[in-house]
Amino acid sequence: MHPHASALGLLLSATLACTPTAPTTSSGPESAPAPSPKSAQEEIDEAVKVAPPPSITLIAEAPGRDPSEIESMVTTPLEAALRSISGVARLESRSSAGSATLTITFDPGVEIERARAAVFERLNETRSSIPDDVTTILAADLASRSRSTLFTLSPGTDRGASPDMLATVVDELRRELRQTPGVAAIEACGERPPQVLIAADPQRLKAYALTPLALRRALQAAPPSGPPGLVGVVDGAQGAGIEGLESLVITTAGEPPSPVYLRDLASISLAPAQPECDALHLGAGEVIVGVVRPHRGADEATVRAAVETLLRGQIERLSPRGVLLQVHPPPATTIHVEMPAPPLGEASRSLEELRRTLPTALPGGSQALLLAPRDEGPVDAEILLFGAPMGPDALRGLEERLAQLPGLHVRDIQSLGVASRQRLRIMGDDLELAYELAQEVARLAETVPGVLGAKPRTAMTPELTVHGRRDALARLGLTSEELAQTAALALHDVEVARRLIDGRDVPVILRIGERTVGHRPPEALGSIQLPLPGGGAVPLHAVADIRLQTSPHGIHHTDGRRSVDIDLRLAEPEIRAAVDRLLAAKLILPRGVVLTWE
């Protein structure tokens, strides 16, 4: 599964225009006279009228590498290549565990197709400067999620539809919606498609002199159906289902040699996958939330009408199958909340607490959806409220109620016609210093009357990391790519193949050990075997340092410089001027560090 697939937060955020001030250095934010403040509605109207500049999003995946390795080995070389493209106005990136996301914004008037061609050209030129195991993907040219159509799928009143049935319906709707002119992507949160899970026992692998990487390669070489057989040994058993997988011959052992089947090394099961993103209709249970996004530049009203017509035409067809399909209007109010990262391996605890307590803070009778991507970092959730928009006083009251929930931070609340979020950005090469300064900026800003909240974006989270020792790797003839691939298998569930199960194409997931990411202590990971070029194997701890450490959940760059954002919640947009004055008087920035409004 792609790491970025779980990033469905900020699904329907409104895009609000902000007037940036000039960058500043050690004297704090610039004190030049600010332009006459615009009302929130004027800013929204301007954002709607002005077409956004063309932009391209690039995703680079490198499983098994931590954020600092992604930054140095993937993000930085890609940025260096992309910055040389003519017409680039801004380059932003986020380096996280296993992947990097880069957003290239071009000058107005740049033709998007020509820009995409230039990006492809630079990527081809850069292949030799990034690791071989990195996969790059150009995301579709999508319009803002605020221009999308929202629908939900859930079991009907008889609760008849299973997770597998709902996942099947999502696939059917995707196929039909993709045929609609102007539709670029269909995203889903809460989906639980079927998967084959192979949970391999590390001790059994070691007993047969097999490494996780060797098992992965064997599974990737297996035929999707028909008679199984690997390493030149054919079992003769037929079958494309679980039985066929169990009969796969992985190696031979003993004298005379006899086959070692996959069932000798692992337990194999077919079950719904855990959702990469949780979706809950508050008061009505779990749902799948679908977001149909148009192409950038498409006639959004025409696309929305066609999508809604197609979806509404499916309602009666799906009802006999126990599936309830609902098409929703855009949410009137969108709330982004954050909770601290839970202890390693307990990612669901904070989310469960949020599910339990959230209804007590929302207005009575609210129709609301909760969406929260699952990962090992902070819980970054989105609440969509339907109905009438809320005025400033109602929004402040809602925030006060939400703030009473233990550990909950309200990052942003937006309702139609009300703009309140502003963002400051600190740019500097020293990430720890930038984060400390961001905390100081937030502390100072919260002393200004009318600032309802301020918090740095970059969160420090506990994570297990695998850092290779170059001398040990070189001495044994191992590469950093082989180490990264083994680390990915040790730390994460990895999709290794797809297989036909009862006529359906199903992902095959490999898990090393009985417990998932974050549950295994460093010493258990250290015993995972890494294959040597000349045969044999060596444990991870012999060539790498495995540590539980606190580090940024993601490392952000703005035009090649590390950056940390501070979200401010303001009772009125005009309060920004008071924040400027206070920071100019109280904050001293080191040489080379820049503070600016975004």
Cis amide bond preceding 257, omega within 30: no
pLDDT at 121: 93
pLDDT at 49: 46
Q: Is pLDDT above 90 for 551?
A: no
Which residue type sits at 441? Answer: V
Q: Is pLDDT above 70 for 240?
A: no
Q: Angle at which helices 576-586 and 431-445 pack, to 10 degrees? A: 120
pLDDT at 389: 85
Give the integer Cα–Cα distance in Å for 550 and 547. Answer: 10
pLDDT at 3: 39
pLDDT at 342: 64
pLDDT at 313: 94
Residue 129: CA atoms inside 13 Å, Cβ hemisphere, count? Answer: 14
The 3-state DSSP class for residue 57 equals strand
Domains defined along the chain, listed by start: 12-52+420-459+553-598 (3.30.70.1440), 53-141 (3.30.70.1430)
Q: Is pLDDT above 60 for 118?
A: yes
Reported as a single tens digit per residue, the pLDDT across 567-583 is 888 878 889 999 999 99
Burial class of residue 50, CB neighbours in 10 A (0-12, 13-18, 19+)? exposed
Burial class of residue 589, CB neighbours in 10 A (0-12, 13-18, 19+)? buried
Average pLDDT in the chain: 81
H or E element, residue 341: none
pLDDT at 508: 92
Pairing of β 277-281 and β 135-138: unpaired
Average pLDDT over residues 472-484: 91
Instruction: Measure the CA dihedral 221/222/223/226, to 10°.
Output: 160
Pairing of β 379-386 and β 367-373: antiparallel
Model confidence at 225, pLDDT cuts 50, 70, 90, reads low
Reported as a single tens digit per residue, the pLDDT across 48-98 is 445 668 889 999 998 878 888 899 999 999 999 999 999 999 999 999 888
Average pLDDT over residues 36-43: 49
Other C-beta atoms lying within 10 Å of the C-beta of residue 149: 25
∠ CA 322-326-327, rounded to 5° = 155
Q: Which residues, in sequence order, are CB contacts of 301 under 8 Å at separation 6+?
A: none
Going from the C-alpha of 75 to that of each of 84, 95, 121, 375, the distances in angstroms are 15, 7, 17, 21
Average pLDDT over residues 529-558: 87
Model confidence at 226, pLDDT cuts 50, 70, 90, reads very low
Give the integer Cα–Cα distance in Å for 155 and 250. Answer: 41
Q: Which two tokens stand for residue 40?
A: 């929130």
Answer with the residue of higher pLDDT: 85 or 156: 85
Give the integer Cα–Cα distance in Å for 543 and 82. Answer: 34
